[in-house]
Amino acid sequence: MIRKAFTEHPASVGENYFQHCLHANSFGIRMVIGGFACMLHGFLPFLFVKTGSEQISLLHDRMIVNRSKLLEPLDFVI
């Protein structure tokens, strides 16, 4: 039961626990850095003009576009 809690969601996106941990942490770090850039941009609008939108686009591509490409072969097998 405990093992299922750690493996069910990662398996649903085609990853094992450690792969999912690495990807989730890389997303989180990028989101935190992008968030700080956005806050600094709020105070100093000449800094980080495109950083927030670039981070959102990059994370969207990595999470939605590329992951769906990775899962296509699994859908074909099922």
pTM for this predicted structure: 0.70
| Distance between CA atoms of residues 69 and 76, nearest Å | 12
| pLDDT confidence band for 70 (50 / 70 / 90) | low
Task: Give me 52's structure tokens.
Answer: 């927030």
| Distance between CA atoms of residues 50 and 57, nearest Å | 11
Give the pLDDT score at 72: 53
Domain limits for position 51 = 2-77
Domain count across the chain: 1
Report pLDDT digits (tens) over 3-61. 898 999 999 888 899 999 998 999 999 999 999 999 999 999 999 999 999 999 999 98
Say yes or no to pLDDT of 77 above 50: no
Q: Are 16 and 7 in contact (CB under 8 A)?
A: yes
